Structure 1
Amino acid sequence: MPPRKLYLGPLTDNRRWDMVKIRPDDVFVVSPPKCGTTWMQTIIALLFTGDPEVETELSVKMPWVDFRLREMPEVAARLEAMEHRRSLKSHTPMDGLPLDDHAQYICVFRHPLDAHFSYRKHLRNLPMPFFGLWYPEDDTEGTTFRRFLDGGPEGFDGDAMALAHIIRHYQAAVALAERPNVALFHYADMTRDLAGTFATLAEMLGITHSAPVMERLVQTARFDNMKAHAARFAPSGGKGFMKSDAEFFHSGTSGKWKGRLSDAELAAYDAMMDAHLTPEQRTWLEYGSSGPA
């Protein structure tokens, strides 16, 4: 196995994983931002407990380990003290994570343009002004999309979520997809068949619940319910970290980028995607297993 790549940005420091003792039943949720990370974490929390009323408290119970703005000794101690089955979140590509032969790695992806436009809105909802140069509020010159295309996969560019970073995430996951403990999920598939997503995950994680319980869990994880109870389901919800917990769950829809990019911008995006991915890989990354509707 090659050595782990270094991912070090304003938000991410994947060296922090050196302080985590991985357990064989750990479940990693690995994805670029705004691709369904919180949704997948919530599904796993519901499956772990079988309780549709569970207080997920994702930031505490299923922490984002890479997030360098929290003291790592405290995060590591909290994880070590957990007596229940653990789930851990990462926005680091798989080639920067410690790989265990028994822990499960759940990789979640979304159409890169949907993720990009969702991230634009997400940053407006956070107290992180240092992204202003990449995501200017009054972007009359197309700066944001130009940097999305020009940025690299690591460092500041990675945390600003350049297209190269999304592609790196996907390629690193695909390279490991033949391992029995690595699985790729797509936001579009989760949207089309949430009950099927629950069933697939339950089988992967060795979890069994009765049909009535599973139906209640599925209903709890539907977008409208999560948005209606945003303080409960948003990361750090109810603590005032975000300007609006409800805005974290803005719409949950896809394709909002349509009509907002010029022909030249779309052509540049197409060229980059085609340069790095096969046609089959590109179709899956953009649309999931069912392809474009």
Structure 2
Amino acid sequence: MAERSSSDSSLALSESDPTSPCTDASVSPTAGLEQEWLPNYNTYDGKNFPPLVRPENLDSLKRCKTRSDDVFVCTYSKSGTTWMQHIVRLLKNNGQTESDQAIVNVIPFLEEYHVDNIDLWTSPRTMKCHLPHHMVPQPSSMDETASSPKYIYAMRDPRDVAVSLFYHTRAFEKYEFTGDWNDFFHIFLNGKAEYGSWFEHVCGWWQRRHYRNVLVVSYEEMQQDLRQVVCKVASFLNLANVTDSVIDQVVAKSSFSAMRVDKTANYSWDDQYRRPGHVPFFRKGQVGDWTNHFTAEQAREFDAVYRRFAERVGDFPECYCSGAGVATS
């Protein structure tokens, strides 16, 4: 792969919902990146998506009608999705998993399905998705007073997200990606990784964090005080009958070490699709691993893009630049 110039980071915002305050319409989503450098993505509405997410399914979601008891677990890729799914699953089942049911069967991946299938799912439905806010099914009256359906959004330090997504993308044959970390760093920073710009993605949910039916939590909060986050999720879902004993079970079963060996949650069923010798789905689960991968120049480049975006948008988390603290909503 060719060397990339640090000046490419000026293109870090990608095309999105043109009506969103999170979108910078003056930035071209394709400038500065040659197509052959990218993983094997599907493209829809100016954004890249994983190979298993088909454009026809994404298009069909425009017709997806929500139900009052729906729960959506939403994240940008590699931001604690499975962790939050597992917590929700356990809370809704008295601290237990459903025998040997893989988590993807209990809480399905929304955008891998066509709306004709989704409409057949029985209520109450709990779904996960990585879609930007404006692509997620919502009721027509979605505003800060709405109480349902419920959306849980987990966000994570984008530097750790980039590193985790790099290893994920290299591990699976379907991505056909053989680039190095420097290549992927610029793909991510330019908003050309799967699901588009991390900045726009987080912005869309962060600016709705005060809505009654939206709960925003961070990966770092989960690492710092998992029990507090579990209690917050239980309260948000109105699970009044959850006892302290159930909370204890959920916390214990949601630790990284417990989930790594839990065959219903560790994605071991995907091992057949991984390239030999690549990392497992549960790699490290740490906060700050980005410091082992970012060069000093990359750290400066990232900070410049982050601060520029935050200054332009105004209402944006201030926690993910060098020296900042834990993200809280």
TM-score (norm 2): 0.72
Quote the residue 1:122 is aligned against. Answer: 168
Quote the residue 2:126 is aligned against. Answer: 87
Quote the residue 1:72 is aligned against. Answer: 114
Are residues 1:255 and 2:255 paired? no
Q: Supply the distance in 1 between the matched residues of 2:46 and 2:72 (Cα, whole angstroms).
A: 17
Q: Give percent identity, aligned residues only.
A: 21
1:92 CA drift (Å)? 0.9
SS in 1 for 2:96: coil
Q: Supply the distance in 1 between the matched residues of 2:207 and 2:315 (Cα, whole angstroms).
A: 15
Quote the residue 1:283 is aligned against. Answer: 318
Specify every segment of 5 or more residues in structure 1 that has no aligned partner in the other structure, as ranges. Answer: none
Q: Supply the distance in 2 between the matched residues of 1:45 and 1:3 (Cα, whole angstroms).
A: 35
1:9 CA drift (Å)? 3.1
Q: Deviations over 1:59-98 (max 9, x none)?
A: 222111123xxx5266425xx2424x22111111112222
Are residues 1:144 and 2:184 paired? yes
Q: Is the 8 A contact 1:45 1:56 kept in 2?
A: no
1:206 CA drift (Å)? 0.7
Higher share in helix: 1
Residue type matched to 1:64 in 2?
F
Q: Deviations over 1:200-245 (max 9, x none)?
A: 011110112121122112111111000022x32034x436554399
Residue type matched to 2:170 in 1?
R
1:284 CA drift (Å)? 3.2
Q: Supply the distance in 2 between the matched residues of 1:60 and 1:269 (Cα, whole angstroms).
A: 37
Further displaced range: 189-198 or 89-98 = 89-98
- Equivalent residue in structure 1 for 2:138, among 74, 83, 99: 99
Quote the residue 1:221 is aligned against. Answer: 254
SS in 2 for 1:89: strand
Residue type matched to 2:151 in 1?
Y
RMSD: 3.0
Further displaced range: 254-263 or 28-37 = 254-263
1:144 CA drift (Å)? 1.9
Q: Supply the distance in 2 between the matched residues of 1:26 and 1:272 (Cα, whole angstroms).
A: 36
Q: Is the 8 A contact 1:26 1:103 kept in 2?
A: yes
1:158 CA drift (Å)? 4.4
Q: Supply the distance in 1 between the matched residues of 2:104 and 2:259 (Cα, whole angstroms).
A: 16
Q: How does 1:1-293 map to 2 (within 5 A)?
A: 6=45, 8-11=47-50, 12=53, 13=55, 14-54=58-98, 55=100, 57-67=102-112, 72=114, 75-76=117-118, 80-83=120-123, 85-100=124-139, 101=146, 102-130=148-176, 132=177, 136=179, 139=180, 142-149=182-189, 151-152=190-191, 157-159=192-194, 165-207=197-239, 208-229=241-262, 231-235=263-267, 237-238=268-269, 240=271, 242-243=273-274, 247-278=280-311, 281-285=316-320, 287-289=325-327
